[in-house]
Structure 1
Amino acid sequence: MKTVKRKEDFQPKPAMIAGLSLMLMTIAAFFSYGYAHSSLVIYEDAAKTYDLLRPSLSLFHMEIAGWGVIILTDLIVAWALYKVLKPIHPLYALLVGVLRLFYTIILAMAVFHLVIVSRIILDNSGTVEQVMDSLLLFEKFWSIGLIVFGFHLIMVGILALKAPFIPKWISILLIIAGVSYTLIHSMYNGLPQYETMTADMEIFLSLPMMIGELGLGIWLFFKGIQTLHNSRPSYLGAS
């Protein structure tokens, strides 16, 4: 693999865009899945979920809007990370972008099932079971997408290891997070008989899974700002 030799190959503007997008995405995910979805959906109780959703459609629509923000920022990140990683290896950087795009398409398919839930409840055109079926399809599609997302993070981490401008600890965290996503969601989808063990593994690995990409985003954003600031010409002392 070609290795970048110069720190000057760092692309500050795409890095800032990627970093800001990753941070916005994290905030949207915390709201949409961490707050709204977990407040409204109880997968073990279809009737209770329906009763929670009917009077809370405004919150559910805000959740869907949050997923829309996530999809948009995912598309931006796919482009921005390609630009940041292109000096390291153009072909592998393109693969990183394509994997992110593929994941985003699967995520959009998952979110479409949330839109179906909204229509069923608004039109009063389906049953409690149909609502839960659509919610389960959302989880299924997203889980499959997270397998692809894991491979994306692994590739980002491997490329980052070759870059002199990215700290090694971020690269290692990305690889750990990527392996965790791919392993856990492969087990959820391929080994359902081990669901309890997989859930325990997910709890144990949740911290590196969360901070891997978020750490990259924060670092890229502030590194981009610092690089742009340092690259400005100084006129101090000019006559």
Structure 2
Amino acid sequence: MSLRTSGRYTGAMFLLAFVAYGAGSGMAGQFLGSALVVLNSAMVAAIGVLAFRALRRPHPAIAWTYLVARGAEAFLLTAGIVLLDAFGDGAADIAYQAAMLLLSLGSLPFCLALYRQRWVPGWLAIWGFAGYALLATGSVAELMGASIGLALAIPGGLFEIVFGLLLLTRGFAPSGAARPENAPDEAAVDGDAQARGAALGAGAGLLVMAVLAGLANFGVVERLVSTDAAETTTRLLSNQTAFVLAIVALLAVAFLDVLVAWALRAFFGDAHRAVARLSAWCRTVYAVVFAVAITHLIAAAGLLHDAAATDRLSSRVYAQVTAFEEIWSLGLILFGVHLLLIGWLAWRSRTVPTWLAALVAIAGAGYLADSIGALVSAAYTVQVAAVTFVGEVALLVWLLVFARSRGDRRTTVKVDVRQKQPA
């Protein structure tokens, strides 16, 4: 499929999704309205796939980011329909604002890619970047209780209409100065640069995930949740904003999980392509399970937002928090398998030290032991992963050092080659 054709399809999806969601949200609570929102989610996912096909050669990292952002948006908008029916407006609104935030963060680099490739006029790419930045700001403000999101969403919404119309008429049409669509890309030709980029992407993603997960889970959720339902509800009611922001941070972690999964696949693909792909799918499915678990926290936050403190509220909120923990624990089985596979790939790799491969595999075994132990026996209280997670930290650090050292070596080689050239 040519750039022009994929661009025209993308434009059609932008416009149809805009209409479907607008009509569907106007019929909230009705079957037809829910069906239109689900249809919108399907078209949103299609936008991500079409853009990925166009961008994966010139800008693979941006292509993956935009694809996952659109997938996250589709998931959360669909989840919002379920949450609206079961838990009310508060939960649905949190899901919607989180969807808009993740969409915005993924669309910022997308607009930069549009500008660099000259697939659209420069002013339109800049408009899109500014519009999505405002949309992200509005979403964060709404999540924190400030009702300014609608006004800040207008520039981004208008951009999507204009962008969709432009793509529908001309597709992704590069100017004469842009790279020809069939020209080879350095990322596709230079294996060393590809490995370095994959290592940097995976390492940076793991680092951001560690910070977000630490702040959200250990700093907020585990601090507020106790073994008593009434006490937990009281704490959450007193810290609703922090709880909502922690939920969004955990959603961002799930988002990054997918990006890290495929960055690791790219890095370890030479060790064994099929196993690397399997490991990526294990982590991707884990991320989806984790996102499903997080929707229970969204439900709890929605209940807290819409209802007064009662015994019934306490039991319902605590049930959702418990469901989050149980589903996440089950998902960690897949995460453990992923780490075991990464450990095996690292052992086969010619660049990763054996001790690191062993630590990563041990970390995976720790997650498996904890998750299966909790599944088999309710009395299981051992936390093996609290010790074995060191393997994940070691992998994170090693990937960043590898990316940096290879970058320095690559620069040195280029300098040496230039020095050897005749004057």
TM-score normalised by the chain length of structure 2: 0.51
Cα distance in 2 for partners of 1:131, 1:205 equals 27
Alignment of 1:1-239 (within 5 A): 11-42=195-226, 44-124=227-307, 127-192=313-378, 194-195=379-380, 199-200=381-382, 202=383, 205-208=385-388, 210-232=389-411, 233-234=414-415, 235-236=418-419, 239=423
Shift of residue 38 of structure 1? 1.8
- Matched to 2:386, the amino acid is S
Secondary structure at 1:11 match in 2: helix
Shift of residue 218 of structure 1? 1.4
Percent of paired sites with the same residue: 26
Shift of residue 236 of structure 1? 4.7
Cα distance in 1 for partners of 2:193, 2:298 equals 43
RMSD of equivalent CA atoms: 1.8
Match of 1:4 in 2: none
8 Å contact kept, 1:15–1:84 = yes
Q: How many residues align?
A: 225
Secondary structure at 2:239 match in 1: helix
Cα distance in 2 for partners of 1:53, 1:10 equals 45
8 Å contact kept, 1:36–1:59 = yes
Radius of gyration: which is bigger?
2
Cα distance in 1 for partners of 2:420, 2:363 equals 49
Unaligned residue ranges in structure 2 (runs of 5+): 1-190
8 Å contact kept, 1:71–1:108 = yes
Post-superposition, which runs of at least 4 consecutive aligned residues in structure 1 deviate over 6 A?
Answer: none
Cα distance in 2 for partners of 1:8, 1:80 equals 14
8 Å contact kept, 1:10–1:165 = no
8 Å contact kept, 2:264–2:280 = yes
Can you list the C-alpha shifts for 1:124-163, whole angstroms capped at 9, x where unaligned? 1762100000000000000001111101100000110011
Can you list the C-alpha shifts for 1:43-80, whole angstroms capped at 9, x where unaligned? x1110111111121011011112102201110110110
TM-score normalised by the chain length of structure 1: 0.89
- Matched to 1:132, the amino acid is Y
8 Å contact kept, 2:370–2:385 = no
Secondary structure at 1:21 match in 2: helix
| Higher relative contact order structure (alpha carbons within 8 Å, sequence separation ≥ 6) | 1
8 Å contact kept, 1:9–1:87 = no
Shift of residue 207 of structure 1? 2.1
Cα distance in 2 for partners of 1:205, 1:57 equals 29
- Matched to 2:368, the amino acid is T
